[in-house]
């Protein structure tokens, strides 16, 4: 199965000036765990995740004054829609993160998360197990 089959095409894009509270509210409303951060004054795009917001709150920072740009990961690993889910999972495990921005022709086309991969793999593994039980000895 490919990343394009698992990724969410609901891509929330915010700017670096959004407060963490604004980012959290938008992420909650869209039911996504990450937002693409586009800074027109910087090269490339970044990602802000629910964990970034949690880490900020955990250190006592004010979500009404902290800006998304200060908590954005800019050293992003991008996935291609044609990657296999195994390639995406390997990149996530290697990098220690749970989301990959999927780029198609240089533009964000989606986000694939660990949850997306599990959602796709769980039924496939169940079907394989059921087929194995019905194989005559």
Q: How many CB atoms lie within 10 A of CB 62?
A: 11
Task: Tell me the average pLDDT of the chain.
Answer: 91
Q: Helix, strand, or coil here: 25?
A: helix
Q: Copy the structure tokens of residue 70.
A: 């200060």
- pLDDT-above-70 percentage for the chain: 90
In whole angstroms, what is the distance from residue 65 CA to residue 61 CA? 8
Domains present along the chain, CATH in parentheses: 3-133 (3.10.580.10)
Are 101 and 108 in contact by the 8 Å Cβ rule? The answer is yes
Predicted confidence (pLDDT) per residue in 26-62, tens digit: 999 999 999 999 988 877 799 999 999 999 999 999 9
- 67 φ, ψ (degrees, to nearest 5): -95, 145
Report the DSSP pairing between strands 13-14 and 34-38. parallel
Residue 78 clears pLDDT 80, i.e. is over it: yes
Average pLDDT over residues 82-111: 95
State pTM to two decimals.
Answer: 0.84
């Amino acid at each position: 199965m490919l990343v394009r089959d698992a990724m969410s095409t609901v891509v929330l894009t915010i700017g670096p000036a959004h407060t963490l509270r604004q980012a959290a509210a938008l992420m909650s409303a869209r039911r996504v765990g990450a937002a693409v951060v586009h800074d027109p004054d910087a090269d490339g795009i970044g990602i802000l995740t629910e964990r970034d917001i949690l880490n900020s709150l955990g250190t006592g920072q004010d979500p009404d004054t902290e800006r998304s740009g200060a908590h954005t990961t800019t050293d992003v690993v991008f996935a291609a829609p044609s990657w296999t889910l195994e390639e995406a999972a390997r990149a996530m495990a290697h990098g220690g993160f749970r989301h990959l921005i999927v780029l198609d022709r240089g533009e964000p086309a989606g986000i694939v998360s660990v949850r997306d991969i599990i959602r796709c793999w769980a039924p496939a593994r169940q079907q394989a197990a059921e087929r194995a039980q019905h194989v005559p000895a």
